């Protein structure tokens, strides 16, 4: 696996872990969990930016932002569907 994909997949895994932890920790407050999904999405995008800031490498930056944002959105959409269907 390319090092670019390792960063992207590791951020996706981190987003999934945080999302599952929120759903498991606060099962009754569904609307509060969905509000925090925006912060998770913003955090994943900010994490890509911080990684590139310290790397000082601009190659593939926009592509990584799109992949991380898209994958994180998909993870959070699946979690939202799970919350909606479990009620």
Residues of the domain holding 48: 3-86
Closest CA to 48 of 31, 65, 32: 65
Residue 82 has pLDDT above 70, yes or no: yes
If pLDDT is split at 50, 70 and 90, which confidence band does 16 have?
very high
List, for residues 22-62, the tens digit of each pLDDT value. Answer: 888 877 665 778 788 999 999 999 999 898 888 877 788 88
| Mean pLDDT, rounded, of the chain | 87
Contacts of residue 58, defined as CB under 8 A and 6 or more positions apart, other chains included, come to 52
d(CA 76, CA 62): 21
pTM of the complete model: 0.87
Q: How many domains does the chain have?
A: 1
pLDDT at site 29: 65
pLDDT at 26: 77
């Amino acid at each position: 696996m390319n090092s670019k994909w390792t960063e992207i997949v590791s951020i996706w895994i981190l987003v999934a872990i945080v999302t599952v932890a929120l759903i498991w920790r606060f099962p009754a407050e569904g609307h509060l969990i969905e509000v925090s999904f925006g912060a998770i999405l913003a955090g994943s995008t900010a994490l890509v930016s911080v990684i590139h800031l310290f790397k000082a490498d601009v190659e593939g930056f926009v592509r990584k932002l799109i992949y991380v944002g898209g994958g994180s959105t998909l993870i959070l959409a699946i979690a939202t569907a799970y919350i909606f269907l479990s009620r």
